[in-house]
Amino acid sequence: MTSQDEKREREDDRMRRTEELRQWVERRGRGAMTILQKRTGLTFAAVSRLVKGKAAPSPRSAVLLEKATDGDVSAARMLGLSADEAA
C-alpha cells in the first residue's frame, strides 16, 4: 500500500467515524456548529474540522460532543470503539 493509499484510508475512516456528528449538525441546520462550540468549549474551527471529517476527535472532545448532543452522537463510535465499528 502506498502512502497515498494509507492517507486516503485514514481520511475515509475519519469520515465514517464522524458521520453521526455530521448528520446531527445537518438535522439542526444553521447555528448547530455554534451550539456545539458553546456547549463543548472547543473552538469553532475545531468543531468545523471534526464535522467535516478533517480531524479525528480526541477522547476528550468525543466525550464533550456526546454530552453536547445529549447522547445523540456516540463518543465510542467517533473513537472507533463501538462493536458496530469493529465489523
Minimal CA–CA distance to 77: which of 40, 25, 22? 22
Q: What is the pLDDT of residue 42?
A: 96
Q: What is the pLDDT of residue 86?
A: 42
Minimal CA–CA distance to 65: which of 30, 26, 27, 35? 35
Rounded to two decimals, the pTM is 0.82
pLDDT, tens digit (0-9, with 9 covering 90-100), for 3-47: 888 888 888 778 888 899 999 999 999 999 999 999 999 999 999
End-to-end CA distance of the chain: 21
**42 or 1: which leads in pLDDT:** 42
Helix residue ranges per DSSP H, the chain = 3-17, 19-28, 32-40, 44-51, 59-68, 75-78, 83-86
Q: What is the pLDDT of residue 87?
A: 42
